[in-house]
Amino acid sequence: MIIPTELINHLRQAGRVAVLTGAGISAESGVPTFRDAQTGLWARYDPQELATPQAFYRNPQLVWDWYRWRRELTSQAAPNAGHLALVEMARRVPHFTLITQNVDGLHQRAGSQEVIELHGSLARSRCAVEDVLIEGWPAGPGLPTCPRCGSLLRPDVVWFGEALPAGALKAANNAARAADVFFTIGTSALVYPASELPLEALEHGATVVEINPERTPLTRYVNFPLTGPAGEILPLLLHETWPDAQP
């Protein structure tokens, strides 16, 4: 993979860089992507069906078991070279904003600060009635209940049909509009409104870079489609742009 010189120059001169990541950046950490075929017990379930309020209220135990399975998977995973390259890139540009659709917390574990979590996090649960956040993850296999009101707890993630956290979405939109360079990394670009962010960036004059082994509906619009895994391309791009970058 050759990183285009024009992109390297854009990055070196960029004052504001914004990055949107999806499940693909965690693939090389061994975390299945959202639309990868699910394995084992979960093979017969469509994630898009499970990640909904309807599924939760129809069968909260099934949905809790699914999230416990995913949290187990992600807690055993380690950040990969792609996550780490973004930590170093943030040190190299004047204004860096990291926006993620992921709920696995791997960016934070890699050392990224101030991560904008558009779809929530497996690190937290909340009361399904009062919305109050409960730090940590309820132990035990049963249905966890709110210590304050006794209602069901739910994972603190955004399900299909639910609004994204208003503050996170506003911050993400602002970063996309102000970006000199906008990266979309490891996302199928299918889920709204996150999928609008790269288009916002393009409309406001950003240089948009896509890093993905596959083509997506966005590929034909971006300035630099870099085809390949993030864990290989990001470190290469980092060192081509800033030869003294660490690691």
Q: Write out the residues near ligand BV8 by the rule CB under 6 A.
A: 22-25, 27-28, 33-35, 51, 101, 103, 119, 157-163, 186-188, 190-192, 211-214, 216, 229-231
Min CB(80)–ligand BV8 separation in Å: 8
CB closer to ligand BV8, 157 vs 172:
157
- The one-letter code for the residue type at 221 is Y
Min CB(211)–ligand BV8 separation in Å: 6
Catalytic residue among 10, 83, 107, 119: 119
CB closer to ligand BV8, 13 vs 36:
36
Residue nearest to ligand BV8 (CB): 24
User: Is 119 one of the catalytic residues?
Assistant: yes
How far, in Å, CA of 240 to CA of 221, rounded?
A: 24
Min CB(218)–ligand BV8 separation in Å: 10
How far, in Å, CA of 227 to CA of 100, rounded?
A: 20
- What's phi and psi for 196, nearest 5 deg? -80, -20
CB closer to ligand BV8, 136 vs 161:
161
CB closer to ligand BV8, 3 vs 27:
27
Q: Within 13 Å and on the Cβ side, how many CA atoms surround 195?
A: 11
> Do the Cβ atoms of 146 and 129 come closer than 8 Å?
yes
How far, in Å, CA of 183 to CA of 100, rounded?
A: 11
How far, in Å, CA of 82 to CA of 134, rounded?
A: 30
Catalytic residues: 119
